[in-house]
């Protein structure tokens, strides 16, 4: 399939799906994973090439050299939300590793939901109990090297939402593409919820999650003992976010992300980025088959976010 035909097919899927979406329904599932990615502002759709690609762009799983597992914990917005993540990926099939698979599980949850009833004796609402909430997302990913330069990937998405006394189940799909222009430049395109993800609640109501188009570009440059990486992403939405988006025109809005990484001898890494204008910082160390990454994101109106992740390569 020609690259232009592939992009045309992807855009057709998006615009056929977008009319059935609902605002903000998918936000809990779009917070991102991994310390390296957050340190670079979440600009990761083009440059992801490890186990975390199952979330960021499944086409990036083709960068795997062996099996990998990753764990992450994040104190998101201070102690308001706990964001946890585990994933596994592996090359599939023949020794030349033309196909790859992965499993990704995320959980975002917290407590403090106060459920009330009306007290007719006091003539006011009273708290009868306090409950929690959690959103779970399971991704089953598959990726192939279509050519030496073109990588394709897709993920089936399964969602479970638990909110106090109610719950919901969801089903959808993500698709992704990466194109290696040369040894230095790479482009990526990720479409979250490409078919529109349906959430069905036990109350009998349904909710849909709009597709989000995420184009990205990245560049790598080796300079002696240093490897420099720069990346840019934009989340493009079609659900009339207007002023709630960083940039908008009519029903279309875009949120941008930038990131930069400097690595020394593939052992020590420093990172800085911008996530929709919010400063992100991070660092990492790689030894033996273990990568440990930490990251920080500055918030304006609520507490800052912190993240730590550990990636292990299995030989």
For residue 262, the model assigns a pLDDT of: 97
Number of residues in the chain = 315
Residue 112: the pLDDT is 65
pLDDT for residue 306 is more than 80: yes
pLDDT value of position 42: 94
- What does the pLDDT average to over 121-150? 85
pTM as predicted: 0.84
pLDDT in tens, 41-69: 999 999 999 999 999 999 999 999 899 99
Residue 82 confidence class, pLDDT cut points 50, 70, 90: confident
pLDDT, tens digit (0-9, with 9 covering 90-100), for 238-273: 887 777 788 888 888 999 999 999 999 999 999 999
Confidence of residue 293 (pLDDT cuts 50, 70, 90): very high
Look up the CATH number of the domain holding residue 42. Answer: 2.40.160.60
> What integer pLDDT is reported at residue 121 of this predicted model?
80
pLDDT band for position 94 (cuts 50, 70, 90): low
pLDDT for res 132:
72
Where residue 156 falls among pLDDT bands split at 50, 70, 90? very high
> Over 50: is that where the pLDDT of 140 sits?
yes
Domain tally for the chain? 1
Q: Which residues, in sequence order, are CB contacts of 259 under 8 Å at separation 6+? A: 39, 40, 41, 42, 43, 44, 229, 230, 231, 232, 271, 272, 273, 274, 280
Beta strand segments in 93-225, E: 99-119, 124-145, 150-163, 166-180, 185-192, 197-201, 206-209, 212-223
- Phi-psi label, residue 97: left if phi above 0, alpha if psi -120 to 50, beta otherwise: left
Structural domain boundaries, residue 38: 3-314
- Please list the residues that pair with 98 across neighbouring strands: none
Residue 87 has pLDDT above 80, yes or no: yes
Find the mean pLDDT for residues 168-182: 94
Are 110 and 133 in contact by the 8 Å Cβ rule? The answer is yes
The confidence score (pLDDT) of residue 240 equals 78
């Amino acid at each position: 399939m020609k690259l232009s035909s592939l992009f045309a097919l992807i855009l057709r899927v998006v615009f056929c799906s977008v009319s059935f979406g609902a605002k903000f329904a998918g936000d809990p599932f779009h917070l991102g994973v991994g310390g390296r990615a957050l340190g670079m502002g979440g600009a990761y759709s083009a440059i992801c090439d490890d186990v975390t690609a199952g979330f960021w762009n499944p086409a990036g799983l083709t960068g795997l050299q062996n099996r990998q597992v990753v764990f992450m914990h994040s104190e998101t917005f201070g102690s308001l939300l706990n964001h946890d993540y585990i994933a596994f990926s592996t090359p599939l099939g023949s020794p030349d590793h033309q196909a790859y698979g992965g499993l990704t599980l995320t959980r975002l949850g917290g407590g403090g939901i106060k459920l009330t009833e009306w007290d007719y004796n006091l003539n006011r609402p009273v708290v009868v109990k306090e409950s929690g909430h959690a959103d779970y997302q399971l991704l089953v990913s598959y990726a192939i090297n279509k050519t030496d330069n073109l990588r394709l990937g897709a993920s089936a998405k399964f969602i479970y939402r638990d909110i106090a006394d109610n719950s919901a189940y969801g089903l959808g799909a993500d698709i992704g593409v990466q194109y290696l222009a040369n040894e230095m430049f790479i482009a990526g395109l990720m479409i979250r919820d490409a078919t529109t993800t349906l959430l069905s609640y036990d109350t009998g109501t349904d909710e849909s999650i709009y597709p989000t188009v995420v184009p990205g570009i990245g560049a790598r440059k080796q300079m002696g003992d240093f490897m420099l990486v720069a990346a840019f992403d934009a989340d493009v939405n079609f659900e009339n976010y207007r002023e709630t988006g960083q940039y908008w025109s009519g029903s279309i809005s875009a949120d941008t992300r930038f990131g930069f990484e400097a690595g020394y001898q593939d052992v020590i890494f420093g990172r800085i980025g911008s996530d929709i204008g919010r400063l992100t910082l991070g660092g990492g160390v790689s030894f033996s088959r273990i990568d440990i990454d930490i990251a920080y994101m500055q918030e304006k109106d609520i507490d800052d976010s912190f993240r730590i992740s550990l990636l292990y390569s299995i030989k």
